[in-house]
């Protein structure tokens, strides 16, 4: 089955760190660009980070630049998001999302998400 499964979310205090993981299955992960997208009641859906197939092209939203790091391990079919210096406004559901490489269009497959809560 083609799917993405996120993990690693939880409750942390402001200033702490968290590492999210996304495990892909059912498709050739190494041939797809990947993304993290988050969703909160206050800000809605927000593109957080992008990484190309080999990791040589990476983009971040201004709101997380310098604090979050996206990475991937193609041998493990896995995508990661290292989140440092977390703030209350980072509280959200975090989704892993795949880009469609044949049509060069974004987010054709999503996971169920993992919830991150930043609160003292």
Q: Does 58 bind another protein (CB under 8 A)?
A: no
Q: Does 9 bind another protein (CB under 8 A)?
A: no
Q: Does 101 bind another protein (CB under 8 A)?
A: no
Site size for another protein (CB under 8 A): 21
Interface residue with another protein, options 88, 108, 115, 119 (CB under 8 A)? 108
In angstroms and rounded to an integer, the radius of gyration of the C-alpha atoms of the chain is 14
> Residue by residue, what is the 3-state secondary structure of the chain?
CCEEEEECCEEECCCCCEEEEEEEECCCHHHCCEEEEEEECCCEEEEEEEECCCCCCEEECCCCCCCEEEEEEHHHCEEEEEECCCCHHHCEEEEEEEEECCCCEEEEEECCCEEEEECC
Q: Does 44 bind another protein (CB under 8 A)?
A: yes
Shortest Cβ 118–another protein spacing (Å):
21
Shortest Cβ 95–another protein spacing (Å):
5
Residue numbers at the binding site for another protein (CB under 8 A): 44-47, 50, 59, 61-62, 95, 97, 100, 103, 105-113
């Amino acid at each position: 089955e083609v799917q993405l499964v996120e993990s690693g979310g939880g409750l942390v205090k402001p200033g702490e760190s968290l590492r999210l993981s996304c495990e892909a299955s059912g498709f050739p992960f190494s041939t797809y660009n990947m993304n993290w997208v988050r969703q909160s009641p206050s800000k809605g859906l927000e593109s957080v980070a992008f990484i190309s197939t080999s990791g040589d092209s990476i983009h971040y939203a201004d709101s997380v630049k310098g604090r979050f790091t996206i990475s991937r391990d193609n041998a493990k079919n896995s995508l990661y998001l290292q989140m440092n210096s977390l703030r209350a406004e980072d509280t959200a559901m975090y989704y892993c999302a795949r880009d469609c490489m044949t049509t060069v269009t974004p987010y054709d497959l999503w996971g169920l998400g993992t919830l991150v809560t930043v609160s003292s």
